[in-house]
Amino acid sequence: MDRRSFIKRTGVASLGIGLNYHKTFSVTKNNISNPLVIATWNVKNATEKAWQILSKKGNSLDAIEQGCMVEESNEQGQSVGIGGLPDRDGNVTLDACIMNHKGDCGSVVYLKNIKHAISIARLVMEKTPHVILAGDGAKKFALSMGFKEENLLTEKSKTDWINWKKKEKYKPIINIENHDTIGMLAIDKNNNISGGCTTSGLAYKMQGRVGDSPIIGSGLYIDNEIGGAVATGLGEEVLKTVGSFLIVELMRQGYSPTEACKIAIQRIVNKPGSNYKNFQVGYIAVNKNGDTGSYAIQKGFSMTKYDKNGNKNISSLFFEKI
Ligand code: SD4
């Protein structure tokens, strides 16, 4: 195609987009004021905690922080907080971010020895002029805020790491079935949306690796006029497609949360040479009307939802079946 015909074609194409661009998000349930919380995977204790706050007319940001903290404290969960699987060199390093209804956000990356990464992310948002603090600086800031250092490598995770080291077989392939990296979205009684995401990241990652979870737009995005989205799974693929921002922008165009998550998954799957059969990515989303949805590459992903109808784990739609 020469330059002239390219311009001609793109001109026509953009005109077409302009003419067809009639789908936009509209708030149809102005009076929902029914709080709800959704989270990635089966994390009923976490959604229960968030619901306790929301149902007492608490705000969505507090619900997110407290809900995520439940999983960060759970030593059995090997992909978040204490008990998280370490990097190849035995360091447990945490990534987390949080975003409120005003569009403010905070994040920590490569945080060591402080289990409540989500709380430090919130403090970065509220008490510093920055959005992201990393590594030693993030820890120094956490200590200055009164947090205590602790060893996050539990005996179980240490044993698993030692066993892994015998083979040192590293494939950046995410465990498909069993996750509790937590991404959470909540709407409070004032219809304000907040979200958070907290993880120890990919097991046996290279030292210094940071995933999608603390990166605003990739692991999490909120626009209080439209809705929010959060990701789980192989962070590299989410980062390459800026998944959560994409989903919110698709919802702005009028796509439902499920449709928007599905299109974001298709972006990953349809990339040239994508080896999507070997990894998992899952998204969940909520819009301002309180509609929720999820979509994943592989079978096995689920979303936990707590609203006035109770606390439920809901299997996600997934790509391979459709
Ligand atoms: C990461 N997205 O660090 C995270 C891992 C994850 O469920 O979500 N696991 O890539």
**Which residue would you say has higher pLDDT here, 119 or 1?**
119
pLDDT at 172 over 70: no
232 labelled catalytic: no
Element (H, E) at 198: strand 193-199
User: What average pLDDT score do residues 9-36 get?
Assistant: 61
pLDDT band at 9 (very low <50, low <70, confident <90, very high): very low
- Check if the beta carbon of residue 25 is closer than 8 Å to that of residue 288: yes
- Per-residue pLDDT tens digits for 301-321: 999 999 999 999 999 999 974
Q: What is the pLDDT of residue 112?
A: 97
pLDDT at 1 over 60: no
pTM: 0.90
Residue whose CB lies within 8 A of the most ligand 1 atoms, among 182, 218, 232, 304, for a mutation test: 232
pLDDT at 285 over 80: yes
User: Measuring from atom 3 of ligand 1, which residue has the nearest CA?
Assistant: 201
- Per-residue pLDDT tens digits for 46-77: 999 999 999 999 999 999 999 999 999 988 88
pLDDT band at 263 (very low <50, low <70, confident <90, very high): very high
Q: What is the pLDDT of residue 75?
A: 81
Task: Report the mean per-residue pLDDT for the chain.
Answer: 89
User: What percent of the chain is predicted at pLDDT more than 90?
Assistant: 75
pLDDT band at 83 (very low <50, low <70, confident <90, very high): confident
pLDDT band at 5 (very low <50, low <70, confident <90, very high): very low
User: Measuring from atom 5 of ligand 1, which residue has the nearest CA?
Assistant: 201
Structural domains of the chain, with CATH: 21-318 (3.60.20.30)
Q: What is the pLDDT of residue 181?
A: 77
pLDDT at 283 over 90: yes
- Per-residue pLDDT tens digits for 137-163: 999 999 999 999 999 999 999 998 999
User: What average pLDDT score do residues 164-190 get?
Assistant: 75
Q: Is the CB of 40 under 6 A from ligand 1?
A: no
Q: Is the CB of 201 under 6 A from ligand 1?
A: yes
pLDDT at 233 over 90: yes
User: What average pLDDT score do residues 74-94 get?
Assistant: 88
**Which residue would you say has higher pLDDT here, 224 or 181?**
224
Q: Is the CB of 293 under 6 A from ligand 1?
A: no
In SS3 terms, the chain reads as CCHHHHHHHHHHHHHHHHHHCCCCCCCCCCCCCCCEEEEECCCHHHHHHHHHHHHCCCCHHHHHHHHHHHHHHCCCCCCCCCCCCCCCCCCCEEEEEEECCCCCEEEEEEEECCCCHHHHHHHHHHHCCCCEEEHHHHHHHHHHCCCCCCCCCCHHHHHHHHHHHHHCCCCCCCCCCCCCCEEEEEECCCCCEEEEEEECCCCCCCCCCCCCCCCECCCEEEECCCEEEEEEECHHHHHHHCHHHHHHHHHHCCCCHHHHHHHHHHHHHCCCCCCHHHCCEEEEEEECCCCEEEEECCCCCEEEEEECCEEEEEECEEHHHC
Q: Which is catalytic among the residues 181, 199, 232, 304? A: 181
User: What average pLDDT score do residues 97-120 get?
Assistant: 98
State in Å: Cα 214 to ligand 1 middle.
Answer: 10
Q: Is the CB of 138 under 6 A from ligand 1?
A: no
Q: What is the pLDDT of residue 77?
A: 80
Q: What is the pLDDT of residue 12?
A: 39
Q: What is the pLDDT of residue 269?
A: 96
pLDDT band at 26 (very low <50, low <70, confident <90, very high): confident
Q: What is the pLDDT of residue 174?
A: 53
Q: What is the pLDDT of residue 78?
A: 79
Q: What is the pLDDT of residue 170?
A: 64
Nearest to 284 by CA among 310, 322, 314: 314
pLDDT at 13 over 70: no
